[in-house]
Amino acid sequence: MPTANDSEAEQGPELQPVTQLEVKNYALAAQRPTAPLPPRRKRHYVLWTLFVLLIVLFLWLATSSNPFAQGMQELAGNKHDQAIVDTPFSISPHNFRYYKFSLRDASTNVAIVGDFTASPVLDKRKNIKAQESDSGIEVYVLSETSFAIWQTGYVTRSVFESGRVTVGKVQADLPAGAGVYYLVFSNKFSSKAPKKVDATVVLHYKNWIPDWVRAIKIDW
């Protein structure tokens, strides 16, 4: 039989009564809403969201072909490159070919840029080696006055002159303001071979938008 000491050991801890005030406090704690984000963290989130949206808007305005975006680009001074020549052509011996272009009043930061290649158009009935040795082309960018003088055979000032080459690049800044200019491909020096020329030359308007951004095209 168990002893008196054993009976006392089996008794559990004495339970304390819970007051109504403690029950009410527990209920209020369970209903308490979670704490909101600190105001500073919310402000940072809003600022970063606005920053990303502004970047997206800038890229769209700077690169989109949308009429509204194109109008905004014009207002911001972003003019698109204007093609002067972009198709192949041939020039007979003792001859030349020219492309006339003009700049408006108050034009600034305009350059003419591009590249070209020239090769003789061979006639199998004639001396092939002689024709191949008569290669190359001369490229000039001339003002209207200089072009008139150059046509008469006199040496004159030029905005750009390539020399006699088979492959070359056109790169020259044009004077500010209005003006009429001529891009000239000359085969006047050749007495034997006509020349086939592949050229892509444009008027490039420099502005505050980087070229790598302008190269991106968005059709919306």
Q: What is the pLDDT of residue 9?
A: 47
Tally the residues of the chain. Answer: 220
Q: Residue 100: its pLDDT value, please?
A: 97
Q: Which of 195, 144, 208 is nearest to 167 (CA)?
A: 195
Answer whether residue 86 shows pLDDT above 90. yes
What pTM value is reported for the model? Answer: 0.62
Give yes or no for a contact between 199 and 119, defined as CB atoms under 8 angstroms apart.
no
pLDDT for 218: 55
CB 204 within 8 A of CB 113: yes
Residue 134 in this model has a pLDDT that exceeds 90: no
- Burial of residue 112 (CB within 10 Å: 0-12, 13-18, 19+) is buried
Residue 173's contacts (CB-CB under 8 Å, 6 or more residues apart) are: 110, 111
Which superfamily is assigned to 82-211 in CATH?
Answer: GOLD domain (2.60.120.680)
pLDDT of residue 156: 94
* Terminal CA-CA length for the chain: 95
Cα–Cα distance measured from residue 117 to residue 113, given in angstroms and rounded to the nearest whole number: 14
Residue 197 pLDDT > 50: yes
Q: Give the residue extent of every domain in the chain.
A: 82-211
Please check the confidence at residue 13 and state whether its pLDDT lies above 60.
Answer: no
Confidence of residue 99 (pLDDT cuts 50, 70, 90): very high
3-state secondary structure of 20: helix
Judged against a pLDDT cut of 70, whether residue 217 lies above it is answered with no
Q: In the chain, at which residue ranges do the beta strands (DSSP E only) sit? A: 82-85, 89-91, 95-103, 110-120, 137-143, 160-165, 167-173, 179-187, 195-205
User: Is residue 46 scored above 70 in pLDDT?
Assistant: yes
pLDDT exceeds 80 at position 2: no
Q: Which of 50, 64, 174 is nearest to 110 (CA)?
A: 174
The pLDDT, as a whole number, for residue 128 is 53
Give residues with Cβ within 8 angstroms of 216, minimum separation 6.
Answer: 59, 62, 63
| Alpha carbon distances (Å) from 81 to 142, 148, 205 | 20, 27, 6
The closest of 115, 153, 119, 116 to 135, measured between CA atoms, is: 119
